[in-house]
Structure 1
């Protein structure tokens, strides 16, 4: 029988498992029935707890209880893993029931979640709506808050490590690389633990890791679930690591109102990311269908927070398309939690050691040499000390022609970088849909050919974000889209606008927020 499963290392895969009806009895209590998944760290079985007469998931760890020092270390990690998860009783954190030693190996007995992984669900039915994604994000955020309160980090939040119960609620699984917050880093020589495209920048660069790192991974997960693609996935491992550490995320327009939250969670610096409370209130508003998500900073008074499970129910009821294309309930393919190596036990108070990834990457991608070498030769790592950069946020209106980018004083030779932050607009509020900084797609733009004399830049689509430097001799119009960097060839004010001539903007609506950075050369 061929079925979709989640591997014992948390990755979704399709595989054929012949070992059904094993009949093995573990610890005189757990009868193994059939295999649910396999991976490098273990095999997960569907089993029957004969003492309590209930179905369970049993993870058979590929670690002998008798062996050398390496085996003993891995065994200790497995025990700490089970303890870490078991002490977090939460409806959106998978439950750990028992930890037993049998047949010279260790077995972890867990809650059996009868539902697909989030990765499998979106692969089968397509991306979720922003409301549905926000509702599930609320549940995962609450789960992470509980995990962090217990002094534990998850370290591998991704769609494959989220299971969906039959009622649609999310369950955070696979604490295989979770680490107690004691300064330890769980890798073995030549091995980088975790999924690269969902790994926070500070993990990639060997900086301090904390709860904000899990929030970054949550942001990448939400972007993938709603946008349909990972914002940092690249063809090669080293390119993916480089993108996580230094590049802006690739976020599609379909994120809608979820975009500001995702962008805030994916900020490179942990200190610039919103708190869990701030993200919670923003996701709560999106899940409720509110237009204004409010600030992403934590409120003075925490106040009452509605159940995240209720938010999922509301979002699913309000938009059936977020379930399956046919409007059917979420599939009930049977999957279960899969765990990886555990965290270390808390130790006595001592200074925290810097966490370094360089040695861990040596056997896989040689990240330190590859990334820093690439940065050196592209001139990104070593900048001229004399350079100064000014950055400001500019709101560009669709109802006005060219608008000056306030505070952006430009001189010849300066490097100008424009980044779309948030917002939507339209060139015809009665007939045309809203769009973002990239403007309309080719088909939609073609439908406006009758009004093409309204375009500021004929070769670019209606609605795309444009920029120009008035002081330049020929005043070229640049197509900005989501991001643009160019050199100023003259002095003068920087102007931004929509690709729709001022004479045609009376039926427009909407605004975009754009980050403007000007680097002055020495």
Structure 2
């Protein structure tokens, strides 16, 4: 998905806009040229709502973001140069990191070795300490929001949902922003949030980049929310010596997570090649926040880049893909393929705009006193349980109860049935789903089995057969006309077609059943047009059953 139509604009008489680098719920990021200082920068155009109150709230959030990042001086935090207003919109001018996101790096080259992941973890830990010392929280740490410089070092970006600890008046009751699989459980249960919440997200990120699988990956928002709040993380064996670190950081209780100092020592050991990160005791309750400073890395940043020397940095063409679930990264490339959980944006004023998956909305009204955290947790538990129960009921009525294997009439003739597993690639158009033509009268069943894909590998997460969430789909509205095969369903939905079917192309989703009215070939594809497949990633596996 490429941009067009708005290039060559001059912002504030100084910044010449170029290619669109990304677009999401918080804003659109452009490559720009600073005519005064003769340098390339990234210009983030803030998305604002039409009503005055929402407009004012978003402007304040952007100003807060810019102030928070601008006062930081750290090699692993993106630099903010300027904050300007133009055409009644706010623009944040930032350092241009012309490299891939960590998510894109994993999607292109696979998971990182534990030592490599630990080296990057040290850099990110230093960045977080600087953020926390400035009195802020990042709140959206995930592979898609971490960019890689040319030397392979990490840069923490996208402070679009960071909240200053000392400015509670800017907190909107009932609103949760971020990617569920990387959100600490206390954020989902309205309990106290602090630096340990960012360390939780760092732990989830380390596990994802070292294994290729987020520790709380689930097919729906409700299931992911329940997993973060109640379930144990799934940590593959290839995480190796990082496993104790990840487990300690993903403790459900913030008080039981290790301190930044303990975490640094453990990551340093793994980065140096140790098989054991050492002890990881809980942080002392009164431990102060450390002063900002660069993250110690094995031998410094120069040595860290040596860790990454065998991993080439991927660079995108000038017209990069556009869209993000929680603010676009400031880079020409970036693939949040590890940001696979749906993004939850829960707000009482905008409930109808939430994504299509089951979504929990926090109650409106003033926030309760802290001692009522357990009561709020109880209500969230009830809500999650009802959501999961509703999902199970829907599956029951869609697929029916389990069928028995016994037959009352052993002598009755049995129809001939063939079952085949088929992989549908996101980078191709219509693909044959059967090795032989379907005959007239055959009963055909297509059921989703496994796999994920995305229509915008630079910015959108991997999703299942029902396609991208409503929020992500809206972020690509500019491409609906040119790229959607079926305009009635989201990008990324699984589609099928068969000769004579009155609803071609049919939305398969998780299952599709029909009886053939004529001979023909069954075909499947992703909901993305022929000329828009270049930035897709992933594949879906389905089971096709044909009964003659």
Q: Deviations over 1:462-518 (max 9, x none)?
A: xxxxxxxxxxxxxxxxxxxxxxxxxxxxxxxxxxxxxxxxxxxxxxxxxxxxxxxxx
Q: Deviations over 1:290-322 (max 9, x none)?
A: 23422224799x9x998327456546645766x
- Show the counterpart of 1:279: 263
State the SS of the aligned residue for 1:294. coil
Shift of 1:340: 5.1
Q: Deviations over 1:229-273 (max 9, x none)?
A: 000011111110000011100000001111111110000000000
Shift of 1:373: 5.0
- Show the counterpart of 1:104: 88
Q: Deviations over 1:66-107 (max 9, x none)?
A: 962221121112111110110111110000000011112111
Check if 1:193 corresponds to 2:169.
no
Check if 1:266 corresponds to 2:250.
yes
Which of 356, 360, 378 aligns to 1:366? It is 360
Check if 1:233 corresponds to 2:243.
no
Q: Deviations over 1:97-129 (max 9, x none)?
A: 000111121111000001000001100100000
- Show the counterpart of 2:474: none
State the SS of the aligned residue for 2:21. strand
State the SS of the aligned residue for 2:4. coil
- Show the counterpart of 2:146: 162
- Show the counterpart of 2:483: none
Shift of 1:44: 1.0
- Show the counterpart of 2:313: 330
Deviates more, 1:96-105 or 1:134-143: 96-105
Shift of 1:280: 0.6
Query: How many angstroms apart in 1 are the aligned matches of 2:294 and 2:140?
Result: 26
User: What TM-score do you get using the length of structure 2 for normalisation?
Assistant: 0.57
Which of 29, 51, 54 aligns to 1:44? It is 29
Query: How many angstroms apart in 1 are the aligned matches of 2:295 and 2:41?
Result: 30
Q: 1:278 to 1:358 in 2, by over 3 A?
A: farther
Q: Deviations over 1:150-173 (max 9, x none)?
A: 000000000000000000010000
Which structure 2 residue ranges, 5 or more long, are not aligned?
329-345, 363-378, 389-548
Q: 1:318 to 1:137 in 2, by over 3 A?
A: closer
Paired residues, what number?
342
- Show the counterpart of 2:115: 131
Check if 1:308 corresponds to 2:297.
yes
State the SS of the aligned residue for 2:47. strand
Deviates more, 1:144-153 or 1:73-82: 73-82
Q: 1:315 to 1:359 in 2, by over 3 A?
A: same
Select the structure of larger CA radius of gyration. 1
State the SS of the aligned residue for 1:308. coil
Query: How many angstroms apart in 1 are the aligned matches of 2:84 and 2:387?
Result: 53
Q: 1:306 to 1:181 in 2, by over 3 A?
A: closer
- Show the counterpart of 1:436: none
Query: How many angstroms apart in 2 are the aligned matches of 1:29 and 1:315?
Result: 36
Is the CA contact 1:278–1:296 (under 8 Å) kept in the aligned structure 2? yes
Check if 1:178 corresponds to 2:162.
yes
Check if 1:216 corresponds to 2:194.
no
Query: How many angstroms apart in 2 are the aligned matches of 1:340 and 1:358?
Result: 17
Is the CA contact 1:98–1:108 (under 8 Å) kept in the aligned structure 2? yes
User: What TM-score do you get using the length of structure 1 for normalisation?
Assistant: 0.59
State the SS of the aligned residue for 1:163. strand
Is the CA contact 1:220–1:262 (under 8 Å) kept in the aligned structure 2? yes
Check if 1:16 corresponds to 2:20.
no
Check if 1:144 corresponds to 2:140.
no
State the SS of the aligned residue for 1:274. coil
- Show the counterpart of 1:9: none
Which structure 1 residue ranges, 5 or more long, are not aligned?
1-14, 324-328, 342-356, 379-522
| Structure with the largest fraction of strand | 1
- Show the counterpart of 1:59: 44
Q: 1:236 to 1:134 in 2, by over 3 A?
A: same
Q: Which one has more relative contact order, counting CA pairs under 8 Å at least 6 apart? A: 2
- Show the counterpart of 2:485: none
Query: How many angstroms apart in 1 are the aligned matches of 2:42 and 2:308?
Result: 33
Which of 240, 243, 247 aligns to 2:231? It is 247
Query: How many angstroms apart in 1 are the aligned matches of 2:15 and 2:88?
Result: 16
Query: How many angstroms apart in 2 are the aligned matches of 1:233 and 1:295?
Result: 28
Shift of 1:214: 0.1
Which of 250, 257, 279 aligns to 1:295? It is 279
- Show the counterpart of 2:522: none
Is the CA contact 1:24–1:31 (under 8 Å) kept in the aligned structure 2? yes
Check if 1:34 corresponds to 2:24.
no
Q: 1:83 to 1:228 in 2, by over 3 A?
A: same
Q: 1:128 to 1:26 in 2, by over 3 A?
A: same
Q: Deviations over 1:13-52 (max 9, x none)?
A: xx222347x2211111111111111122221111111111
State the SS of the aligned residue for 1:32. strand
Q: 1:310 to 1:115 in 2, by over 3 A?
A: farther
State the SS of the aligned residue for 1:16. coil
